[in-house]
Amino acid sequence: METTDIGLWGVPLAMLGGAIRVSTPFIFVSLGEAITERSGRINLGLEGTLVFGAMSAYAVAVMTGSPWLGLLAAALAGLCFGLFHGWICKFPKVNDIAIGIALMLFGTGLAFFFGKPFIQPSAPDLPAIPFGNWSDIPQVQAALNVNVLFLIGAALAVFLWWAFRNTRVGLIVRVVGDSADAARAMGLNPNTVRLLATGVGGALAGIGGAYLSLYYPGSWTERISSGQGLMAVALVIFARWNPLGCFAAALLFGGAGALGPALQSVGVTQGYYLFYAAPYILTLIIMIATSSPSRTLAGAPGELSITK
Amino acid sequence: MSGTHTKAIGVETIGMTMRFGAFTALDDVSIKVPAGSFHALLGENGAGKSTLVKCMMGFYHPTSGDMLVDGRQVAIASPRDASALGLGMVYQHFTLVPSLTGAENLVISREKVPGVIDWRKERAALAQFMERMPFKLPLDVKVAELAAGEKQKLEIIKQLYLGRNFLVLDEPTSVLTPGEAQEVLGLVRGMTKAGDLTVLMISHKFHEVTAFADDITVLRKGRLTGTGKVSDLSHREMAAMMIGDQPIAALDSRAAPKPDAEIVLKVKALKAPDRTGLKSIDIADLGVRSGEIVGIAGISGNGQKEFLEVLAGQRARDQGEVMVRGSAYAATRAEARALNVRLIPEEPLKNACAPKMTVAENIAFRTFDVDGNGKPVSWISAGAIKAFSARLVEQFKVKTASLSSPIASLSGGNVQRAVLARELTGEVDLLIVSNPCFGLDFSAVAEIRARIMKARNAGAAVLLMSEDLDELLELSDRILVMSEGALVYETPIAQASVQTIGEHMAGHH
C-alpha cells in the first residue's frame, strides 16, 4: 500500500483504526464476562478460553478452509470451558476465582499442546467491510476497514443492554446474580442459571480468541494473547457490569493500546515502548479516580464472591 | 397471576409432627385459621414456629400430619404446590432483588413470564392492580433505594400480585419503625376484615398481637401450649404460655439520676460522610453523663449507624471532636482501655466477633494481651483465656456446646450474651449500644435490657441507639431523635410522647 504523508493526523487516525482492531477481542471477552458476573460468578479462566479459542479457530480454519467454521469451533470450545467452570463451581465450598485461575493455565497449556502443528500453515482470514472507500487516503481506508466481528460485537453490546431489562432471561440472570435466596424463592436454580451464563460467557470469549488468530494479528502463535482475557475482567468492573459500558471501555482500551504503534508509524523512535503500557496505565488511573474508600462499588451484583 | 383467587381462604393443620432424627421439632400441632382471620403464632426462638410454617408451605415434609385448605385435605409436596393453592409467605429477611425495580421484581416472580417483556403493557396492568391495593408505592425505583417499610409492603404486594390469599408473615415488623409497623399491619388488618386475605403472623411483640390479631396459637418446645381469642387473653397469660414457668429477668429499678454527674462522652461539631458518600452526618453537640442512658431514636438510614461507626472507630470523621472524660477519643484500643469505653454494636456476630474463632477467644478479645495488672504480656496463655471465659460464660449464662466452639455456631441471643459478657466485665465508664435486642427472643431481651440498666446504675454513661421505640422508652433517661444525620429533638423521659417523637423521626418538623 502506497503511503501518503498526512503528518500528525496519522496519529488519531491510526488510533481510531487501532481502537477498532484491538478492541474487538476485549468487547467479546468483556461482554461474556459481564453475562457471567451478572449471574453472580467470576470466571477468571477466560484468558485460557481465549487462547484455546484462538487455537481451535485457527486449526479448524486451516483444515476446512472456512474461517466461519473456525469461529464456530472457537465458540464451541469456549462453551465447553465455560460449562466446565460452571459445573465445578456448583459444588459446595469451591471458589470460583481459584477454579478460574486453574482453568486459565489449563486452557493455555492445552492450546499450546494441540496448537504445535498449526504454527506454520496459514488460515483464511475473517472478512472485513471497507467503510473507507470514499476516501483516497490509504490511511483513512486502512483505519475504516472494519472487521465483521467488531460490528457484531457492537450490536451484541446493544442487544445485551436491552435484554438485561426487557427479556425474561435477562431478568433471571440479574435476579440470580443479585440474590440467590430470592432466586430460590422464585423456584429458580441459581446453579443452573450460572452454569449456562458461564457457558455463554465462555463461548463469547472463544469468539474473541478466534478474532485474534483469524483477523488480527491473524495467525496462531503461542504469544497470541497479551493478557486480553484478564484485562477484560477488569474492564467489566470498570464498566460497572453494563454491556454498553463494556463496549466503550473496550474501545477506550483499544485506542490507548494503539497509541504506541501509531506514534511509531509517524516516526517517533524514542520511548514509544512506554506508550505500549498506555492502556494499563489508563486503567490504573481510571480505577483509582473512580474508587472511593467509603463507598462500595455501585452496580456490583450482590452475589459476586468479591463483593459479598 | 393476579386475580385468580379473589377471596380469602381458610387453612388448618391436623396433628402436624416433624422429627429430625431423634429430635422432635414439632409435636402433634393442630391449628385452625379460618378464612379472613388474622391469626398470631407466638413462641420463643426454637419453639417450632418456623418448622410449622415450613411444613405448611411445603419446604419440609412433615413426619405425620395433614393440611386442610378451605376444609379439603391437600397434599403439599413443594413450595410450588403451596403457591398453586394460594398460600404465600413473607419472610423476615427480604426476598426482593435489590438491584431490580419494584415492577421488575413483581413481573419476574410470576409463574409465566413472556420471553420478551412488553413494559408498556406490564406497567399498565401493574397500575391497574395497584389501584385495588391499599398500599401506595413507587414501582419504578430500585428496591435497594426503598425504605424498610416500603420493602415490607412490596413483599406483601408481591404475594397478593401472585394471587396468594393466605399469607404467613414471619415477624413482619422486626425491621420497621413503630409508625411503619402500625401502617403496614393496619392495612393488612383491613384486607382481612374485608375478607380478601387470611393472615398467619409469627411475632414476638404482644402489643402488635393485641392490636391486630383475632386469635393466637402459642408453641413451646415444639408443642402447642395455648390457643384462644386475643380478646380473652392478657399479656401475662400469653407470656406464661410462651415461656412456661421460667423466670424472666426483672429490670433494676432506676437509680435517681444526678444532674451534676460528670459528662463522660462529649461530641462536638462532628461531621462524617454517610454510607452513600453523598450526604454527611452532623452532630452539633451531645453530652452523656455518668449514670444516665441517653437514647437515640430514628428511622434506620438517618445516620445512626454512621454515628455509631464513628464512635466505634469503624468510620473516619471529617471534622469535630469526640471527648471521653475530657480527653480526645479516636477509638484506638489503647484509648478504649484507658478510658473504659465499651461497645455493643448491632449485629454483634458481624461487628463485635470474629465468627470462626472460638467462644473463649471472642470473650477474651479485650483482655487476652494484658495480665492481671493491665500490663501487656508477651506470651499469651490459652489456659488463662479459657479460665476467664469459663467464668464469664457461667456468669452471663451463655449457652454453648463448649468454649472451643466457633462463636458463629451460637444462637443470636447467646452471641449477644457473650458480647455483653466481654463488654460489661470490668470497669465501664462509657457504654455505647446499638439495637442490642434486634431479633432476640423474649427472655434474652429482658435479660439484656436488665444488664444495660445495671451498668447504668453502677455509674456508666450509656448511649443507646435503637430502632425500637419501646426499648428506648423503657430504658432511657433522655431521648434524642436523629433525622437526616442530625439530632433534631430532645426530651427527658418524663415528658416523652411517642406521637411527638414519631413526628420528629419522620422529619415533619
State how far the Cα of B232 lies from the Cα of A297, in Å rounded to an integer. Answer: 54
Higher pLDDT, A277 or B486: B486
Same domain, B308 and B274: yes
Is residue B298, in this structure, part of any structural domain at all? yes
Nearest CA-CA partner of B408 in B345, B356, B348: B356
Other residues' Cβ atoms within 10 Å of the Cβ of residue B111: 12
Is the CB of A179 less than 8 angstroms away from the CB of B95? yes
Is the CB of A174 less than 8 angstroms away from the CB of B100? yes
Least confident of A8-12, A293-297, B43-47, B352-356: A293-297
Render each residue's pLDDT in chain B as its tens digit; 509 residues: 444 446 889 999 999 999 988 888 899 999 999 999 999 999 877 788 888 998 999 888 999 999 999 999 999 988 888 988 999 998 877 788 988 999 999 999 888 889 999 999 999 999 999 988 887 888 998 888 887 778 888 998 999 899 888 999 988 887 676 777 888 899 899 999 998 899 999 987 788 899 999 999 999 888 999 899 999 988 888 888 887 766 666 777 787 777 788 899 999 999 988 776 667 889 999 999 999 999 999 877 788 888 998 998 888 888 899 999 999 999 998 899 999 999 999 888 888 999 999 999 999 998 888 887 778 888 888 888 999 999 999 998 888 888 998 998 887 788 999 999 999 998 999 999 998 887 777 778 888 899 999 999 999 999 999 888 888 989 999 999 998 889 999 999 988 888 888 788 877 66
Other residues' Cβ atoms within 10 Å of the Cβ of residue A248: 17
Residue A301's pLDDT is: 83
Interface test with A, best of B90, B91, B99 (most A CBs within 10 A): B99
**Nearest CB to B114; choose among A168, A181, A299:** A168
Instruction: Tell me which of B243, B278, B308 is where a domain ends.
Output: B243
State how far the Cα of A159 lies from the Cα of A301, in Å rounded to an integer. Answer: 20
Q: Are B58 and B81 in contact (CB under 8 A)?
A: yes
Q: What percent of chain A has pLDDT over 70?
A: 94
Same domain, B236 and B269: no
Same domain, B52 and B156: yes
- Whether pLDDT at A247 is above 90: yes
Residue A228's pLDDT is: 86
- Beta-carbon contacts of B324 under 8 Å, excluding residues fewer than 6 positions away, are B264, B265, B266, B335, B339, B341, B429, B430
Confidence band (pLDDT; 50, 70, 90) for A98? Answer: very high
Is residue B252, in this structure, part of any structural domain at all? no
Residue B509's pLDDT is: 60
Other residues' Cβ atoms within 10 Å of the Cβ of residue A116: 12
Is residue B386, in this structure, part of any structural domain at all? yes
Grid look-up 401502617 returns: B183
Query: Which residues on A lie below 8 Å from B119 (Cβ)?
Result: 166
The residue range of the domain holding B197 is 11-243
**Nearest CB to A178; choose among B91, B99, B316:** B99
Is the CB of B107 less than 8 angstroms away from the CB of A166? no
Q: What rounded mean pLDDT belongs to chain A? A: 88
Q: Are A225 and A54 in contact (CB under 8 A)?
A: yes
B100 at interface of A, judged by CB pairs closer than 8 A: yes
Same domain, B208 and B316: no
Is residue B446, in this structure, part of any structural domain at all? no
H-state helical runs in chain A: 10-38, 46-64, 67-89, 96-115, 138-143, 148-166, 168-178, 180-185, 190-214, 228-238, 243-257, 259-265, 272-276, 278-290
Is residue B448, in this structure, part of any structural domain at all? no
Residue A259's pLDDT is: 81
Is the bond preceding A217 in cis, omega lying within 30 degrees of 0? Answer: yes
B104 at interface of A, judged by CB pairs closer than 8 A: yes
Same domain, B269 and B402: no
State how far the Cα of A177 lies from the Cα of A305, in Å rounded to an integer. Answer: 11
Task: Pick the residue from chain B with its C-alpha nearest to A186.
Answer: B109
Task: Pick the residue from chain B with its C-alpha nearest to A182.
Answer: B95
Interface test with B, best of A179, A189, A303 (most B CBs within 10 A): A179
Residue B4's pLDDT is: 42
Mean pLDDT score, A39-56:
94
Q: What percent of chain A has pLDDT over 90?
A: 52
State how far the Cα of B291 lies from the Cα of B456, in Å rounded to an integer. Answer: 5
Q: Quick one: fold of A7-290?
A: ABC transporter involved in vitamin B12 uptake, BtuC (1.10.3470)
- Whether pLDDT at A1 is above 50: no
Is the CB of B95 less than 8 angstroms away from the CB of A185? yes
B117 at interface of A, judged by CB pairs closer than 8 A: yes
Q: Are B505 and B481 in contact (CB under 8 A)?
A: yes
Higher pLDDT, A121 or A89: A89
What is the distance in angstroms between the Cα of A91 and the nearest Cα belonging to chain B? 22
Is the CB of B108 less than 8 angstroms away from the CB of A181? no
Same domain, B326 and B412: no
**Nearest CB to B99; choose among A167, A168, A174:** A174
Same domain, B328 and B352: no
Task: Pick the residue from chain A with its C-alpha nearest to B112.
Answer: A168
Instruction: Tell me which of B192, B210, B243 is where a domain ends.
Output: B243
CATH code, domain with B117 = 3.40.50.300
- Beta-carbon contacts of B180 under 8 Å, excluding residues fewer than 6 positions away, are B147, B148, B149, B152, B173, B299
State how far the Cα of B168 lies from the Cα of B107, in Å rounded to an integer. Answer: 21
Nearest CA-CA partner of A52 in A16, A23, A77, A27: A77
Other residues' Cβ atoms within 10 Å of the Cβ of residue B4: 11
- Whether pLDDT at A292 is above 80: no
Residue B1's pLDDT is: 40
Nearest CA-CA partner of A239 in A69, A63, A23, A64: A23
Is residue B256, in this structure, part of any structural domain at all? no
Beta bridge mates, B342: B431
Query: Which residues on B lie below 8 Å from A169 (Cβ)?
Result: 115
Q: How many domains does chain B have?
A: 3
Residue A286's pLDDT is: 78
Residue B247's pLDDT is: 66
Q: Are B400 and B358 in contact (CB under 8 A)?
A: no
Confidence band (pLDDT; 50, 70, 90) for A181? Answer: confident
Same domain, B317 and B377: no
Which helix (H) or strand (E) segment holds residue B54: the answer is helix B49-56
Interface of A to B at Cβ within 8 Å reads: 165-169, 171-172, 174-175, 178-179, 181-182, 185-187, 292, 294-295, 299, 301-302
Same domain, B176 and B90: yes
The CA dihedral of A123, A128, A130, A136, to the nearest 10 degrees, is: -40
Beta bridge mates, B487: B482
What is the distance in angstroms between the Cα of B372 and the nearest Cα belonging to chain A? 39
Residue B347's pLDDT is: 83
State how far the Cα of B320 lies from the Cα of A117, in Å rounded to an integer. Answer: 70
Same domain, B235 and B102: yes
Q: What is the pTM of this model?
A: 0.76
Those of residues 371-410 in B touching chain A at CB distance below 8 A are none
**Nearest CB to B277; choose among A174, A179, A292:** A292
Same domain, B267 and B400: no
Residue A72 Cα distances to A57, A91, A121, angstroms: 7, 30, 20
State how far the Cα of A102 lies from the Cα of A36, in Å rounded to an integer. Answer: 17
